[in-house]
Amino acid sequence: MYEMEGTVKVIEDTQTFSSGFAKREFVVTSEDKFPQDIKFECTKEKIELVDKLKAGDKVKVSFNIRGNEYKGRYYVNLQAWRVENAGGEVDSSLANVTDSGAGSQGQADDFEDSPF
């Protein structure tokens, strides 16, 4: 499990693929000496985590790193499974959905023509 604190910068629309698989991405700017814009994704029931966010929110994101290969190319995704306000308390406007499948590798079959 990994965690990062920062400020929500961008919230993308939900993407739904022909297989029925859905994901939603958001970008958080880190609070490091040299800030970085880090893109996270939420899939399946975790999409509701992103529905509660707005640009400018200070958050702590708990996430897993997922890597996969598609046609000889390698991809890394950061899958968020918890979003809290940066103070450490769960903000009532940010749903805290527990992750029942953290680290599972079975989701690769959910993607039809997408390398992500």
Say if 42 falls within a structural domain: yes
Structure tokens belonging to residue 22:
């859905």
Structure tokens belonging to residue 31:
């609070």
pTM over 0.75: no
Pairing relationship of beta strands 58-70 and 2-11 according to DSSP bridges? antiparallel
How high is the pLDDT of residue 36?
96
Say if 70 falls within a structural domain: yes
Say if 14 falls within a structural domain: yes
Structure tokens belonging to residue 93:
């406007």
Say if 68 falls within a structural domain: yes
How high is the pLDDT of residue 86?
79
Domain that holds residue 26: 2-87
- Cβ partners under 8 Å of residue 113, min gap 6: 17, 18
How high is the pLDDT of residue 87?
63
Say if 114 falls within a structural domain: no
Domain count, the chain: 1
Structure tokens belonging to residue 39:
């893109």
Say if 97 falls within a structural domain: no
Say if 62 falls within a structural domain: yes
How high is the pLDDT of residue 108?
44
Per-residue pLDDT 10s for the chain (116 aa) are: 899 999 999 999 999 999 989 999 999 999 999 999 999 999 989 999 898 899 999 999 999 999 999 999 999 999 999 999 876 544 444 444 444 444 444 444 444 455 54
How high is the pLDDT of residue 38?
97
User: Where residue 54 sits, what CATH number does that domain have?
Assistant: 2.40.50.140
